[in-house]
Every structure is written in structure tokens, then in C-alpha cells.
Structure 1
């Protein structure tokens, strides 16, 4: 099973369209949104092409493929526009290999504040806007970066998981970082 991860859209219609094109081209079974989908948030500038209602419409077209968690910029008002649940702070996903993914935004749980994990589990989060795919003791940590506001000189990006390999990919196809889990 191939999974596609995106985080920190922050209501940018252009970034959402680009992300959805990459999702469709990837052949992934599920689109996993790691929060901050519609609102730009008070610490970020208003992005060019900011259009939360249009972003909601675009995402709603994929409602049956989306697994989403709430980011620190997401609210109940955002949920009113979306036709898939996104207000949970975290979700567990069990892979065919038996490995578990802990999906969260990253403002509550992250590499510095881990949830209860078993050896081999993967914590998957956004929030920092910095791509990451590496081991963390007996666990793994994965961050697909940001589609809209990448930080530390990184390009806008998304994440893929296939055959127990996690990788962060820029929208021009460059693998930024990858790791086996």
C-alpha cells in the first residue's frame, strides 16, 4: 500500500492544487493530511492564493480517501467546510507489515514529546515545516515538510510511504530525505 502525506496547506489554493496533482500522480491509496489545512494562522503571513473555501472544495472531492488530523491552526469552523473528519488530535494507522503510524500535527506530540509508542512505531507529524525521515531511538520520525511555507531553505514538499520506505519529495520530483522503517 502506498500512502501520501501532506501538511501545512494553510489555505493556499495553488499549493493545494499542486499537492492534489502529485497525490493523483503518485497512485497512493490514501491522502493523509497532518493539519493546518485551511487557516494561515497568526504566526504566518497570508499566503498568496489564500482561499480557504476553495481549498475545502478541492479537498472535499477526495473525502473518501482522506485521513486527517487537526493542526494548531484548525478549528471547528474549518470542520464546517470539510466533508471528512479532521478534528482529532491524532490517529493510529496500522500498516500491512504490522508497523504502526501515529499521525498527529506536531504541536502536541513530536520528537521531543512522544506519545506511547512500541519499538518500530513511526510518529508522523507536520507543524515544523521541516522535512524529516529518520530513526529516533527504537522508533522513527517522519515529517513531510510544508506545501505552502517550507522553512530552513527547503522546497515545498510532501511525503510518501511505500514498501516500508518513507521519503519526502519536492514538487519538482527531488527526494529531499528518505529512510527505511
Structure 2
């Protein structure tokens, strides 16, 4: 099983293509929201082309599950043939429990409550544009960062990948692993 985890694409088709180059053989993509619109507080990403990104997502052969982000609107759902789910996506994949939530309206206590209530193996969030990969008891907390508008000090755009070896955060420009948790 290979799962690509993406967040905060913000209409950047070029960064989507870079991300897909690492997960073209994935069984599933989990997207933590902010799909098409760059947002009023963000600069327009260099590869901003929401129409091409719409076509790429609609034509993607890999199943995609999307959690609604704070920059996702009803009009976005009108052009995407993939449902944008709200307030979160819950999925069972190979006996593992996944919850994907954008992260703009959740605090640490609520996150811990969701992890406990749903006995999660993976809690996936986005919003901050800063990647996180850490264990919390038996759950792995993942923020894949942003494919296009990184807020890391070094501005590296990132995604996350789960495969048979573990889970890691990947630099979409170089393919280098930044953070990793091995199985």
C-alpha cells in the first residue's frame, strides 16, 4: 500500500505535477484541503493555474479523498468531480484508521479527543504549511506541509508518503526525505 498525503495546493498546478511525480503509483491520495484558491493572505504561487489543477484532479486515476480547507468554497466543489468532505474525512485503510482534517478550527485538546474517540492510527492535518511528523501514543500525526506555499524557514514545499517502509515528509523539488518514521 502506498498513500500520498497532500495539503494546501492553493491552485498551483506546477507543484501538483511535482507532487504527483512521487506518488503516481499510489493507491490513494489524501488531501487535507485548500485545493484551488490561493487565499487572501497568500501570494499567488508561481505555478498558479487553478483551471489546469481542476483538470488534473478530475483526470487523476488515483482515488482522492479531500477534507475541506478554509480556502475551499462551494464553487470549488462545482468544478471538481471529487467530493470535498467537511468537517473531516474518516477512512479505514488496511485495518488502519485515518482522519483527515484541515486544521484551521482544531486545538490540541480536540485533536487528542478525536484520536482517542476514533482509535486513530493516523491524524492528518494541513493549514499551517509547515510539515509535522510525530507519534502521539499509538497515533502518527501528519501535516504534509504545502506543495506550493511553504511557510518553513527554508521555503521547501513538501508532501508526505506512507508506504511499506513507513511514513516520511518529502521535498517536492528534490525528492529528499526531510522527516521519517520507519516501520
Considering the TM-score relative to the shorter chain, is it more than 0.5? yes
Instruction: Give CA-to-partner distance per residue, 1:82-127, whole Å, 9 cap, x none.
Output: 011014221112232x331111111123645315223553211111
RMSD across aligned positions (CA): 2.0
Partners in 2 of 1:175 and 1:101 — Cα distance? 22
Corresponding residue for residue 13 of structure 1 = 13
| Match runs of 1:144-163 below 5 Å | 144-152=144-152, 153-163=154-164
TM-score (normalised: structure 2): 0.88
Partners in 2 of 1:99 and 1:80 — Cα distance? 31
Corresponding residue for residue 86 of structure 1 = 84
Corresponding residue for residue 129 of structure 1 = 129
Tell me which protein shows more helix as a share of its residues: 2
Partners in 1 of 2:141 and 2:62 — Cα distance? 26
Corresponding residue for residue 62 of structure 1 = 60
Closer, same or farther: CA 29–57 of 1 in aligned 2, 3 Å:
same
Partners in 1 of 2:92 and 2:182 — Cα distance? 16
Number of positions where the alignment pairs a residue of Structure 1 with one of Structure 2 = 178
Query: Which segment is superposed worse, 3-12 or 103-112?
Result: 103-112
TM-score (normalised: structure 1): 0.89
Q: Does 1:109 align with 2:106?
A: yes
